[in-house]
Structure 1
Amino acid sequence: AVLSADRSTLATTGNLNNHIGVPLTLLRLTEEHRIAIIEMGANKVGDIAELTAIAEPTHGMITNIGKAHLEGFGSYEGVITAKTEMYGFINQHEGTLFVNMDDALLMAKSNGSKRVTYGRDTEADCFGEVVGNGPFLELIFGGTDGLPYHVRTALIGSYNLYNALTAVAIAQHFGVPDQRIAEALTAYAPNNNRSQFTDTGKNHLILDAYNANPTSMVAALENFAAMNSDRPKLAILGDMRELGEVSEAEHKAIIALVERHELEARFVGPEFKAVQRNAYATSAELIAELQARPVRGRLLLIKGSRGIKLETVVPEL
């Protein structure tokens, strides 16, 4: 959104980030495009290496390395190996990496690379900080002109700071004026069930049901627990899929985190059902419960893997 506010930009749409989606995205390239942002996903080691060979990127960025798709990768170490395959291609072709300076793992894996850093530390090439404690992310980032820029975004959660700083760092690297960057961040409206805030007239919803893994679930819950709100909070949490043999332990850990923060919660999906007898096996079961006992006047966090279809619960809220 930030780059496209300044120049013709092609970007991946939806979840076209695999060996079919990446070529389809590249086929949309025209002479008018100045920049192409190609999202690459992986379910196993080797996927990113294959996709970088197809797309031949000149710049690269890994948002983070979370505990996702562990079933396919075999372990967290497998996730690390797979995701950093992109670093190998970029380094081999003398490209540039954008790296979160506050992420020790990514800094170590990119050591010796040509890189642009971003983070909370003023020593980063692009630095910024969260300000305020409201539900929406507010930040200040350092401009290339030496001035601070204050931005109030429509993104829910302080954990989105690094997503915002990634956009700032990349835009600054390509010469987008700081004021235009700030305006684009302010105007950006999240969609596709990602960090969306909705006032339904019945409740306030934080809808983050695009996907979920243990890392993102913990971040969302920690942020939700810390939010100031005059409304009672309720978390509706769906299964985190494709975790393989660690699934039971990871779902138990999320339940323990909810209890530690003394949050009221509804758990949905067969994985949660296996470890929490009061959980709902499907979203349809929860919908029936909400129809019988409506929820009103709450602040709700709704997060889970796409396969659980938690977005279907929203009309009842």
Structure 2
Amino acid sequence: MKTQDLYRWYTISSGIEINSKKVKNGSIFFALKGKNFDGNQFAHEAISNGAMIAIVDNMKYSFPHKNIFFVKNALFSLQELALYHRLKLNRVPIIAITGSNGKTTTKELTTAILSKKYKVIHSTKKNFNNHIGIPLTLLSMPKNTQISVVEIGANQEKEIQKMCSIIHPNYGYITNFGKAHLEGFKNIKGVIRGKLELYNFLKKNKKKVFVNGDDAIQLIHSLGMDRYIFSERINSDVDVPIKYFWKNTDLKSVLCIKDMKIVSSLVGPYNLYNIASAITIGNYFKVPLKKIKEAVEDYIPNNYRSQILEKKNVKIIVDCYNANPSSMRETLTFFNKIKGNKIAILGDMLELGAFSKKEHAKIISFLEKSDINTIFLIGEIFSSTNRNSSNRIQRFSHKNIFIQWIKINSLKADYILIKGSRKNSLESLIHFI
């Protein structure tokens, strides 16, 4: 089936689905393959559940049903369909956001700010930011969209380059370059090269980039590009001067732009740049400053990203949507500065490959020198790290073992930090605190 023929089906469908059990009446089912599943096996089930057509890449599943179509590669077909839809809507400006940390927070803040001006704004939902999620994101974009904010995730080089060739962004922003997904990127140089693939696309296509002027890597690699810069520095190159403040007394982030004070509920000074970049993008698109302030101050983080909960007079900082050495170090540095009795509950950092034990050992070394009163390390990697720890540090090879410990021993503190990689699901510990 040619892409243009598939697109005609798409225009009269109710949307795209890759889970046969979640298909809606009139949707198109794509049979994708994973490590532990083959979507081709569920094509007939998808049709039975209401899918208008199904796209498979294993010919034996295409017969005898007339509404099951064979293609050479279902994922490639999905990506080509997304590109075709994007080119049909090439009038819609798309802002692409990538980086090691803070992508989702920046995307959500940017969307909230732009929503103050645009009635029909489209953005990445959930964690749909990879080679499968991005095509689904683009294919969810309505024809009357005025502006779109798309998040790009990557765990190896060439991924962002490939995603840009589908998204065709008009604008871009890289949050930062940190030690994330080292298993795929190999080292920090690989991370930098991978993230800069966004710059390469924007530069080649003469598009605009938003730049954190306080990040030397961004400044150097954006030279010669059409760029819009925010920074604490005040000079002729800076388009948006911003002043940063952090108040650890009430866990608030404070920024000043053009003498207007903006107070955010996002915790941690590392979030200041995420807020500033969203403000800068809103400023570029001429969202009134009062509306920008309103959007930022109304934004409450969720999905276990920089959330602050209060339970039994204890302030719990929940930041366990993801973790890598860079974000872990930044979070602990901020947590260390808070005054009071503090407990840190930290889970393993995943996808670090050969760097895993070394990076976990570095975190333990930081903790040993910190002012954090009590530290609990959860997971097999932390537990197997060969390093003598202070008596303030306790290790548990599995979360369930720690839960049993909590049930017997109560946690007493003014502040508790919970942080770890997503697969640890440390948010489930909140119930036991």
Q: SS at the partner of 2:253?
A: strand
Residue identity opposite 1:210 in structure 2: Y
Q: Which residue is 2:327 aligned to? A: 216
Report the Cα distance in structure 2 between the residues aligned to 1:56 and 1:190, rounded to whole angstroms: 29
2:375 pairs, out of 256, 265, 271, with 265
Letter aligned with residue 123 of structure 2: A
Matched, 1:233 2:342: yes
Quick one: which amino acid aligns to residue 300 of structure 2?
Answer: A
Deviations 1:70-102, CA, capped at 9 Å, x for gaps = 001111111111111011111111110011111
For residues 96 and 282 of structure 1, the distance between their equivalents in structure 2, rounded to whole angstroms, comes to 46
CA-CA distance at 1:154 after TM superposition: 0.9
Given that 2:231 and 2:240 are in contact with CA atoms closer than 8 Å, whether structure 1 keeps it comes out as: yes
Q: Does 1:292 align with 2:408?
A: yes
Partner of 2:252: 137
10-19 vs 127-136, which moves further: 127-136
Q: What is the CA-CA distance between 1:110 and the residue it aligns to?
A: 1.2
Pick from 270, 274, 280 the counterpart of residue 396 of structure 2.
280
Following superposition of structure 1 onto structure 2, how do residues 1-317 of structure 1 map, counting pairs within 5 Å?
1-7=112-118, 8-123=120-235, 124-134=238-248, 135-142=250-257, 147-229=258-340, 232-263=341-372, 264-275=374-385, 278-317=394-433
**Runs (5+) with no aligned partner, structure 2:** 1-111, 389-393
Q: Distance in 1 between matches of 2:210 and 2:170?
A: 11
Question: Distance between the aligned counterparts of 1:129 and 1:251, measured in 2?
Answer: 34
Task: Please provide the CA RMSD for this pair.
Answer: 1.4
Q: CA deviation at 1:202?
A: 4.9
CA distance in 2 between counterparts of 1:201 and 1:35 reads 43
- Residues 140 and 202 of structure 1: is their aligned pair in 2 closer, same or farther, counting only changes over 3 Å? closer
Give SS of 1:205's match.
Answer: strand
Contact 1:136 1:152 in 2 (8 A): no
| Worse-matched range after superposition: 195-204 or 163-172 | 195-204
TM-score with structure 2 setting the length: 0.70
Q: Distance in 1 between matches of 2:253 and 2:192?
A: 30
C-alpha displacement at 1:49, in angstroms?
0.5
Task: Read off the aligned partner of 2:345 and give its amino acid letter.
Answer: I
Does structure 2 conserve the Cα–Cα contact (< 8 Å) formed by 1:129 and 1:161?
no
> Percent identity over the alignment?
36
- AA paired with 2:407? Q
For 1:292 and 1:127, locate their aligned partners in 2 and report how far apart those are by CA, in whole Å. 52
Q: What SS does the aligned partner of 1:78 have?
A: helix
In 2, the alpha carbon distance for the partners of 1:273 and 1:202 equals 31
Q: Secondary structure at the match of 2:243?
A: strand
Superposition deviation, residue 131 in structure 1: 2.7
**Which structure has the larger Rg?**
2
**CA displacement, residues 92-138 of structure 1 (integer Å, 9 cap, x when unaligned):** 11110011111111111111111111122223222222335234333
| Cα distance in structure 2, aligned partners of 1:44 and 1:290 | 38
Distance in 1, Cα, partners of 2:294 & 2:397: 43
Q: Higher RCO, 1 or 2 (CA under 8 Å, sep at least 6)?
A: 1
Determine the C-alpha separation between the residues in 2 that align with 1:47 and 1:195: 27
Distance, in Å, in 1 between the alignment partners of 2:352 and 2:183 is 5
Where does structure 1 lack aligned partners over 5 or more consecutive residues? none
Deviation at 1:203, TM superposition (A): 2.0
Task: Work out whether residues 343 and 413 of structure 2, in 8 Å CA contact, stay in contact via their aligned partners in 1.
Answer: no
Does structure 2 retain, via aligned residues, the 8 Å contact 1:127–1:165?
Answer: no
